[in-house]
Amino acid sequence: MAELFDEINPPPRLMMGPGPINADPRVLRAMSAQLLGQFDPAFTGYMNETMALYRQVFQTDNRWTFLIDGTARAGIEAVMVSLIEPGDTVLVPIFGRFGHLKAEIAGRCGAKVETVEAEWGTVFTPDRIEDAVKRVRPRIVALCQGDTSTTMAQPLAEIGAICRRYDALLYVDATASIVGMDLPVDAWGIDACTAGLQKCLGGPSGIAPITVNARVERAVLRRKHTERGIRPAGDVPGEGPRIASNYFDLAMLMDYWSDKRLNHHTEATTMLYGARECARIVLKEGLPAVVARHALASAALVAGLQAMGLRPFGDLAHKMPNVTGIHIPAEVDGEAIRTDMLNDYGIEIGTSFGPLAGRIWRIGTMGYNCRKQNVLITLNALEATLRAHGATVTCGEGVDAALAVYRTAEPAPARAAAE
């Protein structure tokens, strides 16, 4: 007889890496709600509510703001495969692993891929991006807002205007930064933007919020070739080349997410419940408050690490507020420290990739985990673990410095005011 395993009962962990993180318990509760049929009016009502909530999260009026089933990469692939026609020039400014990913996906879509690279730990000036756009004249520019592999955040406020000037479409992968940083999609002229739940939105990976504007809609509908078995009478196919993926065909997905409710896949009911709850929680706290909470945790964590005698990685003026890189001190084995943090404290911190593998740790302060107590607990555990491994650290100063940052930002306790 086949072995029957125990029920799933994960060990308690505090996930302070670059994502995924612990989900907000309210998201887990929403995800335990009973399923509904995908055309049940109660369910299509939830779909419409989810679209309305994510318009606020992305700060956009875009009608086409919905979810792609799959992890954040599903959102990336849906935009790229639907937008890129074979032979199109796509410019990818790369400042970390996720830039390379977009260049790779663009290549698979048949694009002529042009890249510019910033050294890991730095970002691009708008001028450098403008020069590249002027030189290669791309149809699409694709880049990250925040690349967790290097902890850097690319300023985007001017990039949309540059793309408009040269008639390029701007696609931004905001998986790692959404609600951890400001991201006014419409105000910044971003044509397409995608995300995931498992970073600052405080949910599990498995569904990707996206938003695309009317320029993208026009480009995609040109390529609409509805699947034969569901094609309505009188359907006129677009004159453009058919989108190479059925699952990620934004033109067909628009018919599923509109009142037409033209059948496509079976919407991932449970993931939609989770995504809806993530957005609801963030909007209830208020976007500016959520962004400020991430900025404060970042300031406290960096102050704590520096006071401990550690050196943060990269250009701190462009560090993502929700992930912090730290140079691994030469006298310790970075992986042994991570293992002890996990086994002794149940705390997960991250390593990095490529040129940074073994050189930096990455600590995330994101979403539900972005709280004072987690910053303090992680600093304490890291200090004790470093000491156990014989590293020189300044005892007690890390937590004190982080607490001091929180104290200056927090209002005095009510008790003091009443006295």
**Contact positions vs ligand PLP (CB under 6 A):** 19, 71-73, 98, 144, 147-148, 173, 175-176, 196, 205
Shortest CB 413 distance to ligand PLP, Å? 37
Shortest CB 150 distance to ligand PLP, Å? 10
Asked if residues 341 and 382 have their Cβ atoms less than 8 Å apart, the reply is yes
Shortest CB 70 distance to ligand PLP, Å? 7
Shortest CB 369 distance to ligand PLP, Å? 15
Please, what sign has the CA dihedral across residues 288, 98, 323, 350? positive
**Of 6, 31, 101, whose CA–CA distance to 353 is shortest?**
101
Shortest CB 235 distance to ligand PLP, Å? 32
Q: Are strands 140-144 and 169-173 parallel, antiparallel or unpaired?
A: parallel
- Give me the helices (H) in 230-268, please: 250-256
- Distance separating alpha carbons of residues 275 and 198, to the nearest angstrom: 10
Give the pair of three-digit tokens for residue 49. Answer: 């509510």
Residue with Cβ nearer ligand PLP (38 or 71) = 71
Residue with Cβ nearer ligand PLP (142 or 303) = 142
Residues 6+ apart with CB under 8 A from 228: none
Residue with Cβ nearer ligand PLP (224 or 362) = 362
Residue with Cβ nearer ligand PLP (18 or 189) = 18
Residue with Cβ nearer ligand PLP (19 or 398) = 19
Chain centroid to CA 60: 17
Give the pair of three-digit tokens for residue 34. Answer: 């009973």
Shortest CB 226 distance to ligand PLP, Å? 27
Give the pair of three-digit tokens for residue 227. Answer: 């699947």
Residue with Cβ nearer ligand PLP (47 or 94) = 94
3-state secondary structure of 112: strand
- Distance separating alpha carbons of residues 46 and 50, to the nearest angstrom: 6
Residue with Cβ nearer ligand PLP (105 or 401) = 105
- Distance separating alpha carbons of residues 72 and 206, to the nearest angstrom: 7
Shortest CB 147 distance to ligand PLP, Å? 6
